[in-house]
Chain A
Amino acid sequence: EVQLVESGGDLVQPGGSLRLSCVGSGFTFRVFWMNWVRQVPGKGLEWVANISPDGSMKRCVDSLRGRCSVSRDNAGNSLFLDLNTLRAEDTAIYYCLAWGASAYWGQGTRVTVSS
Protein backbone atom coordinates (compact mmCIF):
# COMPACT_ATOMS: atom_id res chain seq x y z
CA GLU A 1 0.00 0.00 0.00
CA VAL A 2 1.34 3.43 -0.95
CA GLN A 3 1.65 5.84 1.94
CA LEU A 4 2.96 9.34 2.45
CA VAL A 5 2.89 10.46 6.06
CA GLU A 6 3.58 14.06 6.95
CA SER A 7 4.54 15.35 10.37
CA GLY A 8 5.87 18.48 12.01
CA GLY A 9 2.87 20.79 11.68
CA ASP A 10 2.26 22.91 14.75
CA LEU A 11 1.05 26.21 16.16
CA VAL A 12 3.90 28.68 15.91
CA GLN A 13 4.25 32.38 16.57
CA PRO A 14 4.88 34.82 13.72
CA GLY A 15 8.58 34.88 12.95
CA GLY A 16 9.03 31.29 14.08
CA SER A 17 10.36 28.25 12.23
CA LEU A 18 9.23 24.73 11.47
CA ARG A 19 10.53 21.60 9.79
CA LEU A 20 7.93 19.50 8.06
CA SER A 21 8.74 15.89 7.27
CA CYS A 22 7.20 13.31 4.98
CA VAL A 23 7.98 9.60 4.85
CA GLY A 24 6.97 7.52 1.87
CA SER A 25 6.42 3.78 1.58
CA GLY A 26 4.99 1.32 -0.90
CA PHE A 27 6.54 2.96 -3.96
CA THR A 28 9.99 3.73 -5.36
CA PHE A 29 10.54 7.06 -3.61
CA ARG A 30 13.89 7.80 -5.19
CA VAL A 31 12.54 8.08 -8.77
CA PHE A 32 9.84 10.62 -8.04
CA TRP A 33 9.87 14.38 -8.08
CA MET A 34 8.71 15.25 -4.61
CA ASN A 35 6.64 18.28 -3.81
CA TRP A 36 4.95 20.31 -1.12
CA VAL A 37 1.55 21.81 -1.80
CA ARG A 38 -0.45 23.82 0.70
CA GLN A 39 -4.10 24.61 1.15
CA VAL A 40 -5.79 27.07 3.43
CA PRO A 41 -8.81 25.11 4.76
CA GLY A 42 -11.79 25.79 2.56
CA LYS A 43 -9.62 27.50 -0.06
CA GLY A 44 -7.61 26.57 -3.11
CA LEU A 45 -4.26 24.87 -3.62
CA GLU A 46 -0.82 26.45 -3.85
CA TRP A 47 2.38 24.72 -4.97
CA VAL A 48 5.06 25.46 -2.39
CA ALA A 49 8.24 23.65 -3.41
CA ASN A 50 9.64 20.74 -5.34
CA ILE A 51 12.82 18.72 -5.59
CA SER A 52 14.15 16.42 -8.30
CA PRO A 53 14.65 12.68 -7.72
CA ASP A 54 18.37 13.05 -7.00
CA GLY A 55 17.93 16.30 -5.07
CA SER A 56 20.04 18.34 -7.47
CA MET A 57 17.19 20.62 -8.50
CA LYS A 58 15.04 22.31 -5.89
CA ARG A 59 12.94 25.41 -5.73
CA CYS A 60 10.40 27.27 -3.63
CA VAL A 61 7.70 29.65 -4.77
CA ASP A 62 8.46 33.37 -4.70
CA SER A 63 6.13 34.02 -1.75
CA LEU A 64 8.44 31.81 0.32
CA ARG A 65 11.74 32.83 -1.31
CA GLY A 66 14.43 33.07 1.34
CA ARG A 67 12.15 31.49 3.95
CA CYS A 68 11.88 28.01 2.49
CA SER A 69 14.23 25.11 1.93
CA VAL A 70 13.28 21.71 0.54
CA SER A 71 15.45 18.61 0.88
CA ARG A 72 15.20 14.84 0.70
CA ASP A 73 16.86 11.70 1.99
CA ASN A 74 16.30 8.90 -0.51
CA ALA A 75 17.92 6.32 1.78
CA GLY A 76 15.21 7.07 4.32
CA ASN A 77 12.40 7.73 1.81
CA SER A 78 12.01 11.14 3.41
CA LEU A 79 11.16 14.63 2.25
CA PHE A 80 11.62 17.78 4.29
CA LEU A 81 10.43 21.36 4.19
CA ASP A 82 12.12 23.95 6.37
CA LEU A 83 10.10 27.12 6.85
CA ASN A 84 11.33 30.15 8.72
CA THR A 85 10.21 33.70 9.47
CA LEU A 86 6.68 32.35 9.34
CA ARG A 87 3.79 34.69 8.70
CA ALA A 88 0.06 34.44 9.36
CA GLU A 89 -0.49 33.87 5.63
CA ASP A 90 1.57 30.67 5.82
CA THR A 91 -1.22 29.10 7.87
CA ALA A 92 -2.41 26.10 5.88
CA ILE A 93 -2.47 22.35 5.54
CA TYR A 94 0.78 21.25 3.92
CA TYR A 95 0.60 18.18 1.70
CA CYS A 96 3.49 16.02 0.58
CA LEU A 97 3.08 14.89 -3.00
CA ALA A 98 4.96 12.38 -5.16
CA TRP A 99 4.54 13.29 -8.79
CA GLY A 100 5.35 11.21 -11.82
CA ALA A 101 3.67 8.56 -13.91
CA SER A 102 1.59 8.10 -10.78
CA ALA A 103 0.72 10.71 -8.17
CA TYR A 104 0.53 10.08 -4.46
CA TRP A 105 -0.65 12.51 -1.76
CA GLY A 106 -0.23 12.48 1.98
CA GLN A 107 -3.05 13.38 4.36
CA GLY A 108 -1.41 16.69 5.21
CA THR A 109 0.00 18.36 8.29
CA ARG A 110 -1.50 21.54 9.69
CA VAL A 111 0.59 24.64 10.24
CA THR A 112 -0.93 27.53 12.18
CA VAL A 113 0.95 30.79 12.53
CA SER A 114 -0.59 32.91 15.24
CA SER A 115 0.35 34.78 18.38
Chain B
Amino acid sequence: DVVMTQSPLSLPVPLGQPASISCRSSQSLVRGGGGIYLSWLHQRAGQPPRRLINDVSKRDSGVPDRFSGSGSDSNFTLTISRVEAEDVGIYYCMQFTHWPHTFGQGTNLEIK
Protein backbone atom coordinates (compact mmCIF):
# COMPACT_ATOMS: atom_id res chain seq x y z
CA ASP B 1 0.00 0.00 0.00
CA VAL B 2 1.09 3.57 -0.65
CA VAL B 3 2.10 5.23 2.60
CA MET B 4 1.22 8.90 2.92
CA THR B 5 3.39 10.79 5.42
CA GLN B 6 2.32 14.22 6.62
CA SER B 7 4.32 16.81 8.50
CA PRO B 8 3.97 18.40 10.88
CA LEU B 9 1.41 16.38 12.83
CA SER B 10 0.65 19.36 15.06
CA LEU B 11 0.51 22.90 13.72
CA PRO B 12 -0.16 25.86 16.04
CA VAL B 13 -0.64 29.02 13.98
CA PRO B 14 -1.52 32.59 15.03
CA LEU B 15 -4.63 34.05 13.41
CA GLY B 16 -3.84 35.76 10.14
CA GLN B 17 -0.56 33.95 9.65
CA PRO B 18 0.21 31.45 6.88
CA ALA B 19 0.33 27.71 7.38
CA SER B 20 1.76 24.90 5.34
CA ILE B 21 1.36 21.13 5.52
CA SER B 22 3.58 18.69 3.68
CA CYS B 23 2.52 15.30 2.36
CA ARG B 24 4.87 12.73 0.87
CA SER B 25 3.88 9.46 -0.76
CA SER B 26 5.95 6.27 -0.73
CA GLN B 27 5.37 5.89 -4.47
CA SER B 28 4.85 8.29 -7.31
CA LEU B 29 1.22 9.35 -7.62
CA VAL B 30 1.51 9.93 -11.34
CA ARG B 31 -0.82 7.61 -13.22
CA GLY B 32 -0.34 6.60 -16.82
CA GLY B 33 -1.65 9.54 -18.82
CA GLY B 34 -0.11 11.99 -16.40
CA GLY B 35 -2.94 12.41 -13.91
CA ILE B 36 -2.04 12.87 -10.26
CA TYR B 37 -4.82 11.94 -7.87
CA LEU B 38 -4.05 13.69 -4.62
CA SER B 39 -6.64 15.42 -2.47
CA TRP B 40 -6.72 17.37 0.77
CA LEU B 41 -9.48 17.00 3.33
CA HIS B 42 -10.44 18.99 6.43
CA GLN B 43 -12.25 17.51 9.39
CA ARG B 44 -13.67 19.47 12.30
CA ALA B 45 -14.37 17.75 15.60
CA GLY B 46 -17.48 15.61 15.47
CA GLN B 47 -18.03 16.10 11.76
CA PRO B 48 -17.25 14.09 8.63
CA PRO B 49 -14.32 15.23 6.51
CA ARG B 50 -14.78 17.74 3.76
CA ARG B 51 -12.73 17.79 0.58
CA LEU B 52 -10.88 21.05 0.01
CA ILE B 53 -8.58 20.29 -2.88
CA ASN B 54 -8.77 17.67 -5.63
CA ASP B 55 -6.23 16.63 -8.25
CA VAL B 56 -3.37 18.35 -6.37
CA SER B 57 -4.52 21.93 -6.85
CA LYS B 58 -8.23 22.22 -7.77
CA ARG B 59 -10.25 23.87 -5.04
CA ASP B 60 -13.67 22.41 -4.43
CA SER B 61 -16.73 24.60 -4.73
CA GLY B 62 -17.10 26.96 -1.79
CA VAL B 63 -13.53 26.55 -0.56
CA PRO B 64 -11.94 29.93 0.20
CA ASP B 65 -9.12 30.98 -2.07
CA ARG B 66 -6.77 31.23 0.90
CA PHE B 67 -6.40 27.46 0.48
CA SER B 68 -4.08 26.24 -2.25
CA GLY B 69 -2.48 22.95 -3.17
CA SER B 70 0.71 22.25 -5.04
CA GLY B 71 3.21 19.53 -5.76
CA SER B 72 4.05 16.71 -8.11
CA ASP B 73 5.14 13.11 -8.24
CA SER B 74 5.40 12.27 -4.54
CA ASN B 75 5.68 15.60 -2.74
CA PHE B 76 2.70 17.79 -2.06
CA THR B 77 1.82 20.84 -0.01
CA LEU B 78 -1.34 22.44 1.31
CA THR B 79 -0.96 26.13 2.02
CA ILE B 80 -3.31 28.42 3.90
CA SER B 81 -2.35 32.00 3.15
CA ARG B 82 -3.95 33.52 6.27
CA VAL B 83 -5.34 31.24 8.93
CA GLU B 84 -8.81 32.01 10.23
CA ALA B 85 -10.55 30.63 13.32
CA GLU B 86 -12.76 28.32 11.25
CA ASP B 87 -9.68 26.56 9.85
CA VAL B 88 -8.99 24.63 13.06
CA GLY B 89 -9.23 20.87 12.81
CA ILE B 90 -7.43 17.99 11.21
CA TYR B 91 -6.13 18.06 7.66
CA TYR B 92 -5.55 14.87 5.71
CA CYS B 93 -3.90 14.26 2.39
CA MET B 94 -5.27 11.36 0.42
CA GLN B 95 -4.19 9.53 -2.74
CA PHE B 96 -6.43 7.72 -5.15
CA THR B 97 -3.93 6.94 -7.86
CA HIS B 98 -3.30 3.48 -6.42
CA TRP B 99 -5.62 0.94 -4.77
CA PRO B 100 -6.16 0.89 -1.90
CA HIS B 101 -6.65 4.61 -1.66
CA THR B 102 -4.76 5.80 1.41
CA PHE B 103 -4.69 8.74 3.78
CA GLY B 104 -2.00 10.58 5.65
CA GLN B 105 -2.02 10.45 9.46
CA GLY B 106 -3.56 13.89 9.76
CA THR B 107 -2.25 17.29 10.84
CA ASN B 108 -3.96 19.01 13.75
CA LEU B 109 -4.13 22.74 13.11
CA GLU B 110 -4.89 24.90 16.13
CA ILE B 111 -4.88 28.61 16.78
CA LYS B 112 -1.84 29.77 18.70
Selecting from A9-17, A69-77, A103-111, the interface stretch reads A103-111
Q: Within the complex, what minimum Cβ distance (angstroms) separates A109 from chain B?
A: 11
- Contact check, B49 vs A46: say whether CB atoms are below 8 A apart: no
Known contacts A102-B61, A103-B54, A103-B60; decide if A47 and B48 are in contact (CB<8 Å).
no
Looking at chain B's contact residues, is the secondary structure mostly helix, strand, loop, or mixed?
Answer: loop
- Contact check, A61 vs B100: say whether CB atoms are below 8 A apart: yes
A88 at the interface (CB under 8 A from B): no
Contact with B along A91-115 (1 / 0, CB 8 A): 0000100010111011110000000
Of B41, B50, B99, B104, which contacts A59 at CB under 8 A?
B99
The number of chain B residues touching the other chain, given as a range, is: 20 to 34
- Contact check, A45 vs B49: say whether CB atoms are below 8 A apart: yes
B76 at the interface (CB under 8 A from A): no
Known contacts A102-B60, A103-B54, A103-B60; decide if A46 and B103 are in contact (CB<8 Å).
yes
CB contacts under 8 Å to A, within B61-104, are 61, 92, 94, 96, 99-104
Cα-based distance from A50 to B101 in the complex (angstroms):
10
- Contact check, B49 vs A44: say whether CB atoms are below 8 A apart: no
Q: Within the complex, what minimum Cβ distance (angstroms) separates B85 from chain A?
A: 22
